Structures are given as C-alpha cells and as structure tokens.
Amino acid sequence: MNVLLFGITRDITGQSRLTVPADAGINTVAGLKDWLGVHYPGFKQLKSLAIAVDNEYANDEDAIGPAQEIALIPPVSGG
Amino acid sequence: MPHNEFDNSNKFPDSESAGRYSRQVQLSGFGQSAQQKLKEARVLVVGAGGLGVPVLQYLTGMGIGTIGVIDADVVSLSNLHRQVLYNENDVGKSKVETAVNKLSKLNRQVSFKAYNQLLSVKNALEIIINYDIVVDATDNISTRYLINDACVISNKPFVYGAVQQFEGYVSVFNYLNGPTYRCLYPTPPANGEIPDCNTAGVLGVTPAIVGSQQALQVVKLITGIGKTLSGYLQIFDFLQDEQYKMKLKVRPESRQITALKNSYAEVVCNTVLKLSVDELFDWYESGKKFQLIDVRELKDFITGHLTGAVSVPYNQFNAGQIKVNAKEPIVMFCQKGARSNSTAQMLQQKYPQAEIYSVLGGMEYWEDEFDDEYMISPGLQNGGGGTV
C-alpha cells in the first residue's frame, strides 16, 4: 500500500512517501493510523489528520486495500 | 513627496474603465457582464501578509468594487522576502494602512476598508456580514477556525489558502452547502501539534502562487466562470512540482454551527520575540544573563542540551509554574522552533511585561551552526542544567 505524505507527516517520517507492507494486515483507515503510530511514534501526537483514499476523503471506518493509494494530509496553517 | 503625485483622477476618468479592464473583458466567456459582477462584489481579505498581499494586488487590479482588509500586524523585515507590496521604508508601519495606500494607487476605482485589528470573536460576525466572500489569508490555525465558523453562521463562502515550507493548499469552503473547513478537520489540532505562525519556514515565492490561486477562486465565485475548488482540496508540492487533489465530503454536523465559541485561543503571530541561534550564541559569548527553558522531551534533554538550560517538557508546560525574573529575559527552546514559539506565546500572555524569546529553528539550527558548542551531554554534568 503506497502512502503519500504531506505537511508535518513528512517531518515525522523523514520521507515524502512510504510503503506499508502487505503482511501488515491493514484493512481500514483506523488500522492504518494504528500502524503508523506504532512505526512512527510522532503520529500519536497528531490527533488532527485527514486521510484520502484514492484522492477522496476517508473516514476511520472506511475499508482500504493494498491496491489503493493513501494520502496523509494534516492541517497546515502558514501564510 | 507630495501626496497627490499618484492622483491620476484627471488622467483616467471613470469612463475609461473599459480601457482599464479591456484585456480581461475581451476574454471569451467573461465580457462586460462579468466585469460588472466584479465591480458589484464585496470581498474581505483576512490577513495582509504572504497570502493576503497577492490576493489584494490582483483583486484590486481586476476591479473588485469593495475590498476590506483586516490585520493588526506591522511590516517587519522578515516579511519582505514574500510580502513584496511592502518595502524597506514600511518596516514598523501598519500593514493594512500601508497596503491600502499603495493599492489605491493601483486602482482608485476600488473602495477600500482597512481594519487595523485582529479578527476576533467580538468583531468577526459584524465585519463579515458586510461582504459577499471572505478570503482566509491568515497564518495561524485558530483564526482559520474562527473564519470557518463565522462564515458558516453568516452563510458566506470563503477561499482558503495555506502554505508550509514548500507546500501550498487551496480550497473553497462553505459554498452552496459544500464542505467546510471543519468537514476536513473537525477539531483544531492541539497547540504545538503542527507548526503555526510560519515557524516552519516559507519560501518567498510560494505564498504568492497560493495567494494568486485564491484570487482566481474569488473571481470564479463572483463571475461564475469555469469551476471552483469547492468540494476539493488542492495541494501543491512546489519542491517536486507535483499536485494532489483530494475530493472532500460534507460532514452534516460541521454545518450545524449557530454561534461562535467563546474563545478560539486566538493566536497572535509575531508578538513573541524571536531569537536566532547566532544571537543566542552571542549571548553566551558575552556572558549575558538569561533563563533558557528547553521544552523538548526529557529524553532529548538528557541526550544533549545547552548550557544552563532548564527542562520543562512541552506536555508538562504550565505557564503559571514558570518563575519569571523581570531582570532576565526568558528564552524558550525546542527541537525546531514550533513548540518554543507556542510556549513563549502562552508565557507572554501570562506575563505581558516579561521579555520572552523563542529560538528560531531550535536545536536543529543550533547543531547546524555550532555543533556541540555550549552543549551539555550525558556524563558531562557541569553546565548547571537541571530539571524542574
């Protein structure tokens, strides 16, 4: 599963995209958030985070699969 | 210089509007009717900074009839790399007054209203009611939520823009029952959760691109030409030259706002003094007295901290428990400068008379510039550092 990263999530992970291994067994948005918190503890502090699945806003309970492209979009405030 | 040097009212009478706007009026699908809509429109621009400047310049040039601009900030030297409406002579002057003065010379047919104040819970609804569209060109998260809620209550669309480092974000919220900012982020992030007030840095040209996109969205909303970004969030990655467009969903509960909250913990950017790592280094070299408070996590503090630093981890920070010595400045310090900035703001609110600084770039900048100078590391417990 390919994950695109934006804003502070790039600082948390140190990269602009990452791949979640298929054997991680993730099948919902909430499951992905849990996985991120385990592998990158900085995500535990990030309560406000929008997630897009195939370019569309997704809720925690929405199903996701390995073929889908995920994007992590935290709030950004500068100007 | 005589004030009327730029008064061109004799040279360009109102009847010459056709000439002024001819290049856009001649566009297929635009024409005189769209120009007339711009002339009748009233737009409020919240923020006269990196985003607000290009928004204001283009809305003025294109002939919006009434433009309000609200900002309490003054021009500072660190603004000029991106806020190119201002110049070196304007440093220290009110942004809105300076902006309106200059914009009036660009197009005296526009009627301007300058609000030299912060948008707040007290004034937001009574100001916004006078406009058709609001432009969110602010630099802090709390004002963005205030704009969202005030626009939902007032039933006004607003054009959102934000930048951080090399990324830009644009959307149109609350347009014809479309998604709002709270549909995307229902509740504000905690203080320090994301960088606020441009503490993460911004490349000079990027807010100009985002602000120009916002001006484009405003014109499309007013005239009805083309499609807007209502229902979508457009993200620009200016470093990789990539774009990402996300389709939004309406959360019905986010539209059920009937009153503003009592407080949006209104963040006032730029009120906290900033200290560069070079200045801090000079303070050490000169033996200046100051109190350095390190708000990084304790384990980071133990790994290495600056001489004399006291550890108050961010998640335990309580402004009321910090002892303020009126004679010594307080220097807030963290990893990148975001948490030091937010804690410095909290401390400044608690102690308005105190001299409080936030170190720009924090430990990352310090290590880049000075490596382990004035650094206390484990096993070298001789620097007077400690925890409270």
Spatial CA neighbour of B211 closest among B250, B170, B240: B170
Spatial CA neighbour of B175 closest among B258, B237, B232: B232
Contacts of B371 (CB under 8 A, 6+ apart): none
Spatial CA neighbour of A14 closest among A32, A48, A40: A40
Residue B296 placed within a domain? yes
Q: Is the pLDDT of residue B38 over 90?
A: yes
- Look at residues B199, B223, B255 and tell me which one is the last residue of a structural domain: B255
Q: What is the dihedral of CA B246, B252, B257, B261, to 10 degrees?
A: -60
Q: What would the mean pLDDT of B237-252 be, rounded to a whole number?
A: 96
Q: Is the pLDDT of residue B199 over 80?
A: no
**Residues B251 and B379 reside in one and the same domain:** no
pLDDT interval class at B192 (50, 70, 90): confident
What is the pLDDT at residue B385? Answer: 46
Residue with the two structure tokens 């290009």: B54
Segment among B70-84, B97-111, B233-247 with least mean pLDDT: B70-84
B189, B202, B235: residue with CB nearest A78? B202
Residue B90 placed within a domain? yes
- Look at residues B222, B255, B288 and tell me which one is the last residue of a structural domain: B255
The percent of residues in chain B predicted with pLDDT above 70, rounded, is 91
pLDDT greater at residue B14 or residue B318: B318
Q: Is the pLDDT of residue B363 over 60?
A: yes
Complex ipTM > 0.95: yes
B190, B198, B235: residue with CB nearest A78? B198
Residue B262 placed within a domain? no
Chain A contact set for B138 (CB, 8 A)? 77, 79
Q: What would the mean pLDDT of B66-90 be, rounded to a whole number?
A: 94
Q: Rounded CA gap, B9 and A10, in Å?
A: 52
Residue B124 placed within a domain? yes
**Residues B104 and B248 reside in one and the same domain:** yes
Domains and CATH numbers, chain A: 2-73 (3.10.20.30)
**Residues B159 and B286 reside in one and the same domain:** no
Q: Which residues of A touch B (CB under 8 A)?
A: 4, 6-8, 11, 16, 45-48, 50, 52, 55-57, 59, 71, 73-79
Q: Rounded CA gap, B152 and B138, in Å?
A: 18
**Residues B226 and B281 reside in one and the same domain:** no
Q: Rounded CA gap, B72 and B254, in Å?
A: 29
Q: What would the mean pLDDT of B310-330 be, rounded to a whole number?
A: 87
pLDDT greater at residue B386 or residue B277: B277
Chain A contact set for B162 (CB, 8 A)? 76-79
What is the pLDDT at residue B4? Answer: 43
Burial class, B9, CB count within 10 angstroms (exposed 0-12 / middle 13-18 / buried 19+): exposed
CB contact under 8 A, A57 and B240: no
pLDDT interval class at B383 (50, 70, 90): very low
What is the pLDDT at residue B104? Answer: 98
CB contact under 8 A, B193 and A46: yes
Binding-face residues of B in 345-384 toward A, CB within 8 A: none
Structure tokens at A18: 């990452």
A7, A48, A56: residue with CB nearest B167? A7
* Structural domain count, chain B: 2
pLDDT interval class at B3 (50, 70, 90): very low
Chain B contact set for A7 (CB, 8 A)? 164, 167, 194
Q: How far is CA B367 from CA B8, B284, B300, B336, in A?
A: 55, 15, 13, 11
**Residues B216 and B151 reside in one and the same domain:** yes
CATH number of the domain to which B42 belongs = 3.40.50.720
Structure tokens at B118: 């912060």
Q: At what angle do helices B206-223 and B31-40 cross, to 10 degrees?
A: 110
CB contact under 8 A, B188 and A48: yes
Q: Rounded CA gap, B174 and B180, in Å?
A: 5
B47 touches chain A (CB under 8 A): yes
**Residues B113 and B221 reside in one and the same domain:** yes
**Residues B214 and B340 reside in one and the same domain:** no
Which pTM does this prediction carry?
Answer: 0.76
Structural domain boundaries enclosing B344: 273-387
Strands (E), A1-79: 2-5, 17-19, 50-53, 56-58, 69-73
Size of interface A-B (CB pairs under 8 A): 104
**Which three-class secondary structure state does DSSP give residue B189?**
coil
Q: Is the pLDDT of residue B320 over 90?
A: no
- Look at residues B197, B221, B255 and tell me which one is the last residue of a structural domain: B255
**Residues B288 and B201 reside in one and the same domain:** no
**Which three-class secondary structure state does DSSP give residue B157?**
coil
Residue B267 placed within a domain? no
**Residues B175 and B315 reside in one and the same domain:** no
Q: Rounded CA gap, B68 and B128, in Å?
A: 9
pLDDT tens-digit readout, A20-48: 999 999 999 999 999 999 999 999 889 89
pLDDT interval class at B360 (50, 70, 90): confident
What is the pLDDT at residue B317? Answer: 87
**Residues B139 and B249 reside in one and the same domain:** yes
Q: Is the pLDDT of residue B2 over 60?
A: no
Taking the CA of residue B232 and the nearest CA in chain A, the distance in Å comes to 9
Q: Is the pLDDT of residue B65 over 80?
A: yes
B279 φ/ψ sector (left φ>0, alpha ψ -120 to 50, else beta) = alpha
CB contact under 8 A, A56 and B200: no
Average pLDDT, chain B: 90
Residue B25 placed within a domain? yes
pLDDT interval class at B311 (50, 70, 90): very high
CATH number of the domain to which B373 belongs = 3.40.250.10
Residue B365 placed within a domain? yes
CB neighbourhood size of B252 (10 A):
8
Residue B131 placed within a domain? yes
**Residues B182 and B117 reside in one and the same domain:** yes
Q: Is the pLDDT of residue B35 over 50?
A: yes
**Residues B348 and B242 reside in one and the same domain:** no
pLDDT greater at residue B15 or residue B123: B123
Q: What would the mean pLDDT of A2-15 be, rounded to a whole number?
A: 95
CB neighbourhood size of B45 (10 A):
31
Segment among A18-32, B3-17, B95-109, B151-165 with least mean pLDDT: B3-17
Q: What would the mean pLDDT of B159-167 be, rounded to a whole number?
A: 95
Structure tokens at B285: 């070299």
Q: Rounded CA gap, B76 and B64, in Å?
A: 28
pLDDT tens-digit readout, B248-274: 999 999 999 999 998 887 566 656 788
A16, A50, A78: residue with CB nearest B163? A78
CB neighbourhood size of A76 (10 A):
24
